[in-house]
């Protein structure tokens, strides 16, 4: 009970230092979550990418009708395939004509259809690895009657590499921000500790245990971290509602952005833990 009272007294007495600390922690935690949100959003945006990619399998000329059926069945039996569509060379020509619309004079001189029959394969979404896709494409290439395969594997590969890099960067920044929060708590507690050193010495002479002396600092660190977290939550909430919610909705790219609102409540808990660790580091090696 008494340590709690000491902690509250200290928070009120050193109001400005504590306020500054809370503000810094709030800002840092908010940035930490902003980075998290960015990573999270890119994760979501790219999750369904393989689904959008299609693989075009061009067949050799004069592939027998029977073989077509066999190949199609073969594709459909693959677990990562979502749909298979046969596009005959005539249909391909029609599509081409449609694409050119009024400019179809380009195609006027062509009498013999130079296009080939093809299959358009769409893959199931959700976290297909690049290797899965590559392996699948190699399998297709090896099939009889297949002339060429066109696919977005390269794109997928670079997007995945980008995502990987972003994840690492996110974790890296997260660790840096978290460390900064710990460090801020650490230096505030150190400062408060040295300010109260005379007082602490008297406590010790009267028979106070180390735990008794430390308890108020731990409470203070935890409270400051927690309030910092609440502040960060509020800041991010405001940012989400007013900035992203009202203004950026009209800008197409930003309209996709979704803040993982549920995890916002996690922020005060994180502040709490980081605050406590800051105090732990600050007092851990002190002799008194």
How far is Cα of residue 174 from the mean position of the Cα atoms in its chain? 11
**Per-position b or e across 175-190, b if 16+ CB within 10 A of its CB:** eebbebbbbbbbebbb
Residue placing its CB nearer to another protein in the complex, 79 or 207: 207
Site string for another protein, 59-78 (x = CB under 8 A): --------------------
* Residue 208 within binding range of another protein, rule CB under 8 A: yes
Residue placing its CB nearer to another protein in the complex, 112 or 198: 198
Smallest separation, CB 216 to another protein (Å): 12
Provide the 3-class DSSP secondary structure of residue 83.
strand
Q: CA-CA-CA-CA torsion for 228, 232, 235, 239, nearest 10 degrees? A: 170
How far is Cα of residue 182 from the mean position of the Cα atoms in its chain? 23
Smallest separation, CB 2 to another protein (Å): 5
Q: Are 223 and 7 in contact (CB under 8 A)?
A: yes
Residue placing its CB nearer to another protein in the complex, 40 or 203: 203
φ, ψ of residue 208 in degrees (nearest 5): -75, 140
Site string for another protein, 178-207 (x = CB under 8 A): ---------------------x--xxxxxx
Among 210, 238, 241, 249, binds another protein (CB under 8 A): 210
* Residue 266 within binding range of another protein, rule CB under 8 A: no
Q: Interface with another protein by CB under 8 A: which residues?
A: 1-2, 199, 202-210, 212
């Amino acid at each position: 009970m008494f340590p709690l009272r000491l902690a509250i007294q200290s928070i009120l007495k050193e109001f400005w230092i504590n306020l500054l600390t809370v503000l810094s922690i709030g800002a840092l935690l908010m940035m930490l979550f902003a980075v998290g949100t960015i990573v999270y959003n890119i994760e979501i945006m790219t999750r369904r990418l393989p689904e959008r990619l299609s693989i075009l399998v061009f067949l050799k000329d004069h592939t027998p009708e029977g073989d077509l059926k066999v190949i199609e069945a073969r594709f459909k039996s693959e677990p990562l395939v979502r749909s298979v569509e046969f596009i005959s060379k005539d249909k391909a020509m029609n599509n081409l004509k449609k694409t050119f619309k009024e400019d179809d004079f380009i195609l006027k001189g062509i009498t013999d259809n130079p296009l080939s029959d093809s299959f358009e394969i769409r893959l199931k979404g959700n976290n297909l690895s690049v290797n899965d896709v590559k392996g699948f494409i190699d399998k297709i290439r090896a099939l009889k009657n297949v002339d060429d395969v066109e696919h977005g594997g390269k794109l997928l590969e670079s997007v995945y590499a980008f995502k990987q890099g972003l994840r690492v960067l996110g974790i890296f920044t997260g660790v840096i921000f978290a460390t900064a929060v710990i460090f801020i708590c650490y230096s505030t507690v150190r400062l408060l500790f040295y300010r109260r050193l005379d007082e602490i010495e008297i406590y010790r002479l009267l028979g106070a245990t180390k735990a008794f002396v430390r308890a108020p600092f731990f409470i203070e660190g935890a409270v400051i971290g927690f309030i910092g977290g609440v502040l960060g939550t509020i800041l991010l909430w405001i940012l989400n509602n007013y900035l992203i919610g009202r203004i950026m909705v009209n800008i197409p790219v930003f309209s996709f952005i979704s803040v993982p609102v549920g995890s916002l409540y996690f922020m005060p808990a994180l502040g709490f833990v980081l605050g406590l660790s800051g105090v732990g580091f600050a007092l851990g090696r002190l002799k008194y």
